[in-house]
Amino acid sequence: MSEAFLKDPLSLFSVKGKTAIVTGATGAFGAIAAKTLAAAGANVVLAASNAENLKKLAAECAGFSGKTEIVAKRPSSEANCDALVKAAVDQFGGVDILVVASGQNKVAKIADQKPEDFLDVMDANVTQSWLMARSASRQMVKQGKGGKIVLMSSARGLLGHPAGYTAYCASKSAVDGITKALGCELGGSGITVNALGPTVFRSPLTEWMFADDERGKTVRAGFLTRVPKGRLGEPSDLAGPLLFLASAASDFYTGHILYADGGYTAG
């Protein structure tokens, strides 16, 4: 085994000069993923449905060493996914990293949830992850240099939840299945496929849990009894795990869900 990496161990985590696609780039995790990769020197295709918010994110990334390209599309169809890959190829010459940060949740008890809402969550979280991985991996195989695919799972893919999360839990369990199956299927092509599995971290949807009002304090206190680290997550807590999964440091790590959850799933 070569130990050439010992001359510069940090080079294992380098993504400088690589090209990444980040879907859901204007969301809480998507934005930190995009900025982290751009700051580390990767060129990033920023994808989401809102063009104005993408322009704002691109402006935030402008001071970093990596370049950005915006594409106002969600990975909601084969054509859209192929268009995102084409944008990366046309602008930067290829695709090395895919981060699927897009998705949604519609909370309702099973007796009250509309079937179409359940299917919307499954489409956004499962089908669109599959479609985007399909388009990106085709390009990666064509390039013949391997690649990194990072999907978005959750602690809810492993654990249930009593508050109307049947759609979300099912969708994240399915993402875990895709991750494991693709990790096996694409391993021989030098493409690693892994997923990040956070628990609650700060976002517009969870900001109420960080609040100091009675509701926030009560729910937070109850939740933190299950979190050994004793606090809720921040988007920045996902930056390190992301760099690991997007870089050569994880070349022998595939088909896994990396739980960045403060120990929540360890208990």
Q: Helix or strand or coil: residue 116? A: helix
Q: Provide the phi-psi class of 162: left if phi over 0, else alpha when psi is between -120 and 50, else beta.
A: alpha
User: In sequence order, which ranges of 123-211 are alpha helices (DSSP H)?
Assistant: 128-143, 166-186, 207-210
Q: Which of 168, 253, 259, 264 is catalytic?
A: 168
- For residue 167, which of 124, 103, 107, 112 has the smallest C-alpha distance? 107
CB 25 within 8 A of CB 49: no
CB 195 within 8 A of CB 158: no
How far apart CA 177 and CA 30 sit, in angstroms, is 22
Contacts of 235 (CB under 8 A, 6+ apart): 28, 29, 31, 32, 201, 202, 203
- For residue 47, which of 117, 107, 95, 116 has the smallest C-alpha distance? 95
CB 121 within 8 A of CB 168: yes
Residue 100 pairs with which residues in a beta bridge? Answer: 23
Phi and psi at residue 71, in whole multiples of 5°?
A: -135, 115
Q: Residue 137: what residue type?
A: S
168 labelled catalytic: yes
Phi and psi at residue 27, in whole multiples of 5°?
A: -80, 175
Q: Provide the phi-psi class of 18: left if phi over 0, else alpha when psi is between -120 and 50, else beta.
A: beta
Residues assigned a catalytic role: 168
